[in-house]
Amino acid sequence: MNLKFQYNKISQIQLTKQLDIRIKALPTLKNKESALRAEVKKAKDTAKELDNKIRSRTAEMEEFMKLFAEFDSSLVQIKQVEIKTRKIAGVKIPVLGELEFVIQPYNLFKAPSWFPEGIMMLQDLSRLQIERDFFIRKMLILEQVRKKTTQKVNLYEKVQIPAYEEAIMKIKRYLEDEENLSKAGQKILKGRLSKEEGA
């Protein structure tokens, strides 16, 4: 990283302020990154768990599949999906609220006796799939933010902080050299003046 700076005290003070900002922000960024990493893992694990539940429910429904051929799937509809938001490490995440289903009226006398149970199974499976989709979305959002945070941590840690430290060191050395030259010049001048007075 090429920093543009001047070899003077003002530039040194400005660079020191920028360095301090980055040094103070680094622990917060690292904490945010680790919190996001943990949340991503949790969301991923929950999504896998829901996947397994969906598979097992689908397997349970396998024996009813022949019956579902006569089931009218338009009987069960999702009326509303409540979406809430929650902040995790400063990131807004969608959270599944209430699910509202609409069950269309059907003739209980003409419909097979298993229809109410079939409706409940369909609602349950739909709820699981929607919940899984929310956790996958949560995982993707958090993963994207975690990657950006990791990049920022690496930028601060490996690029910017060393560049600012190096620039400050160069300015300090330059100013010290300038001061030493000035002192040496004053000694030489004093020595000449004392020789001239003595002569």
Q: pLDDT tens, 39-54? A: 999 999 999 999 999 9
- The per-residue pLDDT for range 56-97, each reduced to its tens digit, is 988 887 777 777 677 777 788 888 889 899 888 888 988 888
Say which CATH class 9-182 falls into. mainly alpha
Share of the chain above pLDDT 70, in %: 98
Please say whether the dihedral angle defined by the alpha carbons of residues 32, 37, 42 and 44, taken in this order, is positive or negative. Answer: positive
> CB-side exposure of 181: number of CA atoms within 13 Å?
6
pLDDT band at 181 (very low <50, low <70, confident <90, very high): confident
Neighbours of 27 (CB within 10 A): 10
Long-range contacts at 37-44 (CB < 8 A, ≥ 24 apart): 37/146, 39/88, 39/89, 39/138, 39/142, 40/139, 40/142, 40/143, 40/146, 43/135, 43/136, 43/138, 43/139, 43/142, 44/139
Banded model confidence at residue 3, pLDDT cuts 50, 70, 90: confident
Please provide the distance, in angstroms rounded to a whole number, between the alpha carbons at the two ends of the chain: 57
Note the pLDDT tens digit of each residue in 106-151: 877 777 777 788 788 888 988 999 999 999 999 999 999 999 999 9
Banded model confidence at residue 199, pLDDT cuts 50, 70, 90: low
